[in-house]
Amino acid sequence: MQYTKSEKGQQAFKQRSPLFSARQRACFILFDGTKTADQVLAATAGLGATWADVQHLLDHGLVLAVKSVRAVPPAIAPDNAPPFEVSRSPTRSAQTRYTRAKPLAT
């Protein structure tokens, strides 16, 4: 299951609440609504984070489960929008593309 930060959790995090241990703070930071608890625990395994840390965050309402949402179809562009196509010319090298794009990006 995927989890995201709650408003209460964000406030407690900003105020450096004693509700968070160092392991729980690390887990809290990684919960973004797309990662599962297993992924977060794998990423924080070096700190010694366990399922008990995640359960603590859930019990105190600092993290909430994300409801499963079916894939939303992509938005349809308005009729007057210019078509956007990404084309990579096989004749241009990566360096040439970079040189041409850098002035646009900066």
Residue 59 belongs to a domain: yes
Q: For the chain, what is the domain count?
A: 1
Residue 74, domain member (yes or no): no
Q: Is residue 28 part of a domain?
A: yes
State which residues form the domain around 38.
3-65
Digit-coded pLDDT (tens) for 50-75: 899 889 988 988 898 887 545 555 55
33 and 2 in contact (C-beta within 8 Å)? yes
Q: Is 34 within the bounds of a domain?
A: yes
Residues 4-59: pLDDT tens digits? Answer: 888 888 888 888 888 888 888 888 888 888 888 888 889 988 888 889 988 998 89
Is position 96 within any domain? no
**31 lies in some domain:** yes
DSSP code string of 21-61? -HHHHHHHHH--SSSBHHHHHHHTGGGT--HHHHHHHHHTT
pLDDT tens sequence across 81-93: 555 555 555 677 8
The reply to whether 101 falls in a domain is no
Query: Is there a contact between 25 and 44 (Cβ–Cβ < 8 Å)?
Result: no
